[in-house]
Amino acid sequence: MKKIKIVLIVLLGVIALQSSAKPKYRIQSWVVGGTRLYLPQQRVWFKTSMGTFPFRVWVSPDFPSQSKREAEEVIGFWKQNDLDKKSYKKSQFITIK
């Protein structure tokens, strides 16, 4: 029984490491008519209304950009937004009676 617990703990650790190794942001690029286009993408949780488990999907803005720098700026904005959300969760509230 003790060996089974150890194996389960090791497997859970491997699963946690695998999920953290996946990228959260990426830039898709392709060439159309001699012009290279860049589309930044972010991996987010997608929840359905049918009660099934949530899963992660890639979402992106509606229009691609023509420069890689613009796509990197969008990803930088997303990263800053995530940091702001994390700092908001750590904020303290003062109740006034």
For 73-87, the pLDDT digits (tens) are: 999 999 999 999 888
Residue 71: pLDDT band with limits 50, 70, 90: very high
Q: Give the pLDDT band of residue 47 (cuts 50, 70, 90).
A: confident
CA gyration radius, the chain:
20
Model-level pTM? 0.66
Phi, psi torsion values for 55, nearest 5 degrees: -140, 165
> Would residue 50 be called left, alpha or beta, if left means φ above 0 and alpha means ψ between -120 and 50 degrees?
alpha
Average pLDDT score over the chain: 84
Residue 90 carries which DSSP code? T
Hey, which of 21-25, 28-32, 54-58 has the most confident mean pLDDT? 28-32
